[in-house]
Structure 1
Amino acid sequence: MIPVKSTEAQRADYTQAILEKWQAATPDQRHQGRTWYAKAHELAREIADGDVRKGAGVLAALSANKSWAENCRLARKAFIEGKATGHVRDAINKANRIMAGTDPTEVLPMHLKTGYFYLCIADPEHPESVVIDRHAHDIAVRRIYGQRDRGLSSLGRYNVLADCYRAAAREIGEIPSRVQAVTWVAHIQRQ
């Protein structure tokens, strides 16, 4: 687990690891990553009958510990059936509140992964939002943690990594969510 109060040298190392993963991405992986949130945005619009915020909120609420394919399946099913199922009670309750009309920003933890996931899907061009999930963490630390806890529920630890992705994005000349998405694609498609 990374320290909550990482040193400048540690932060520079995390940022360098992100840059290295970006540079190692194939042209196809860069294309997939650069378009990832725009495609998720269109999916959110589609499943929620034009209400992108509602669709993005439900996708985010149902995202924890699910593959993207499973996340999409659960969100589609929720809108078709009018209620969320297939997840832990907290996620289901959040998704159902959003589908009932509560603003996602009132339901989701906006300072952590699901809140940022919502923002990136709702606005793929958001200049600062970045999702720090287990893959983003593992990229930055150059180690796959598997099922071990990464401590990302700690706001300080989350923000250290988010700031490193923002620093890498500035160096690359991209928005942070695109850097995260490209490196995520390269990471999950690694051989």
Structure 2
Amino acid sequence: MIPVKSTEEQRREYTRAIIEKWETATPDQKRRGRDWYAIAHEIALEISGGNAKKGAGVLAALSANTSWPENCRLARKAFTDGTATGHVRDALTKANRIMAGTDPTEVLPMTLKTGWFYLCIENPEHPEAVVIDRHAHDIAVRQVYGQRDRGLGAQGRYNTLANCYRAAAQAIGEIPSKVQAVTWVAHIERKS
């Protein structure tokens, strides 16, 4: 697990690892990664009847520990049925509050993964939003942690990695969410 307060050299190394992963991405992986949040935004619009905030909020609320296809299925079903089901109580409560009209920023943990996921889906061109999940972590530390705890619930650790993705994005000339998505695609499709 990385330190909550990383040194400047550690942060530079995490940023280098992110840039190197970006450079290993194929043109097809870069295209798909760059399009990922724009496609998610379209899904949010479609399932919510045109309300990107609401659709993105429900997708984010139901995202924890689910694959993207399952996340979309649960969110689509929630809008179709008028109530969220099939997830843990906390996620369902958040999704139902958002569907009832509460602003997602009042419901979601905006300083951690779920909140940032909402922002990336709601606005795929957001200049600062970046999602730090287990894959983003593993890319930055150049090690696959498997089921080991990464400690991403610690705000300092999460912010360190988010800032490294922002620094990598600036060096690459891209927005942070696209760097995260491209590197995510390259990482999960890596040859072991």
Could you tell me the TM-score, scaled by structure 2's length?
0.98
Structure 1 window deviating more from structure 2 (83-92 vs 154-163): it is: 83-92
Q: CA separation in 2, counterparts of 1:10 and 1:63?
A: 30
Provide Cα deviations, 1:13-42, integer angstroms capped at 9, x if missing partner.
100110011000000000000010000000
Matched residue, 1:92:
92
Give, in angstroms, the shift of residue 75 of structure 1: 0.6
Provide Cα deviations, 1:106-163, integer angstroms capped at 9, x if missing partner.
0000000000000000001100010001110011011111111111111100000000
Provide Cα deviations, 1:91-115, integer angstroms capped at 9, x if missing partner.
1110011011100000000000000
Matched residue, 1:123:
123
Aligned residue type for 2:26:
T
Q: CA separation in 1, counterparts of 2:189 and 2:83?
A: 33
Q: Which aligned pairs between 1:93-112 and structure 2 lie closer than 5 A? A: 93-112=93-112
Provide Cα deviations, 1:33-79, integer angstroms capped at 9, x if missing partner.
00100000000000000000000000000111111111111111111
Matched residue, 1:30:
30
Matched residue, 1:79:
79
Matched, 1:42 2:42: yes
Q: CA separation in 2, counterparts of 1:190 and 1:62?
A: 27
Q: CA separation in 2, counterparts of 1:65 and 1:182?
A: 21
Could you list the structure 1 runs, at least 4 aligned residues long, displaced by more than 2 angstroms after superposition. none
Q: Which aligned pairs between 1:65-76 and structure 2 lie closer than 5 A? A: 65-76=65-76
Q: CA separation in 1, counterparts of 2:149 and 2:58?
A: 25
Q: CA separation in 2, counterparts of 1:10 and 1:76?
A: 41
Matched residue, 1:149:
149
How many correspondences in the alignment? 191
Matched residue, 1:158:
158
Matched, 1:170 2:170: yes
Matched residue, 1:137:
137
Secondary structure at the counterpart of residue 153 of structure 1: coil
Aligned residue type for 1:12:
R
**Aligned-CA RMSD value:** 0.6
Structure 1 window deviating more from structure 2 (146-155 vs 21-30): it is: 146-155
Q: Which runs of 5+ in 1 are unaligned?
A: none
Q: CA separation in 2, counterparts of 1:3 and 1:42?
A: 37
Matched residue, 1:18:
18
Aligned residue type for 2:41:
H
Give, in angstroms, the shift of residue 164 of structure 1: 0.2
Provide the identity percentage. 77
Could you tell me the TM-score, scaled by structure 1's length?
0.99
Q: Which runs of 5+ in 2 are unaligned?
A: none
